[in-house]
Amino acid sequence: MASAEAIRDSVHRDGYAFIAEFHVEHEALEAFESIGKIDVLEGFASVQSLTPKSETSATPNTYSGNYGLGEFPFHTDLAHWSLPPRYVVLRCEVGASSVSTRVLDGACVIDSLGEEFLYRSLVTPRRPTQYGYQLLRVFDKPNQDDGSLLRWDSLYLRAANKAAVKAIDQIAQLIACSTPLEFLLRSRGDTLIVDNWRMLHGRSSIGADSISRNVQRAYLSELK
């Protein structure tokens, strides 16, 4: 069993950690709390239960509502929020051997396009928030001591200046020719922790044999 310290070191070094059958004897909440501090976000349960949904049966303004059982493109979670959650944890409750969760290192995007260019690239949520159409930077350093933040979502974000038009096009090209890491949440407890300020993630399509897949998700504000 990986220790919380070893998990934290992996995530800080690589941007992610995968642990097979993590705390199978416990519920997801306990497993998550052993790794870090749960970030309870407005409108979200502490632990969210994710199941495959067709476009017609899902809430319209969600990934399932847009992509249904098809492939989920690479994104960072809640990229249209002013401060997206730092870490995403996904844990298998009911496994599926033919569905892969994909992870791509955003550091490659920053290395290719440059911090300064991405910092100048302004995007805005597809729909206005309660504060109107807020301007957000594709790359930012929200807190001095807390590292940098890359946000990416081809569904929920729109370009708000010329630099962003170019950045969105170039990021899409980089993603298209990249080779992501792939993880299977196959056995109960299989757990993937992702630094949501650094890594992009996505999901392959859901076949008929994987319709009962169930993944438990939480957001963490810090790792132990």
Give the residue among 40, 39, 64, 42 at the shortest CA–CA distance from 51. Answer: 64
Q: Is the dihedral angle over the CA atoms 145, 146, 148, 153 positive or is it negative? A: negative
The distance of closest approach from Cβ of residue 98 to Fe ion in the complex, given in angstroms and rounded to an integer, is 19
Give the residue among 222, 173, 188 at the shortest CA–CA distance from 93. Answer: 188
Cβ distance to Fe ion smaller for residue 109 or 163 = 109
Of positions 77, 105, 190, 195, contacts Fe ion by CB under 5 A: 77
The distance of closest approach from Cβ of residue 80 to Fe ion in the complex, given in angstroms and rounded to an integer, is 12
Give the residue among 157, 145, 144 at the shortest CA–CA distance from 200. Answer: 157
Cβ distance to Fe ion smaller for residue 77 or 190 = 77
The distance of closest approach from Cβ of residue 67 to Fe ion in the complex, given in angstroms and rounded to an integer, is 11
Q: Closest residue to Fe ion, Cβ-based?
A: 77
Cβ distance to Fe ion smaller for residue 77 or 93 = 77
Q: Hey, is 158 helix, strand or coil?
A: strand
Applying CB under 5 A, the span of 74-82, 100-108, 180-188, 211-219 interacting with Fe ion comes to: 74-82
Is 126:155 a contact under the CB 8 Å cutoff?
yes
Cβ distance to Fe ion smaller for residue 93 or 163 = 93
Cβ distance to Fe ion smaller for residue 36 or 202 = 202
How many angstroms separate the CA atoms of 200 and 119, rounded?
Answer: 18
Binding residues for Fe ion (CB under 5 A): 77
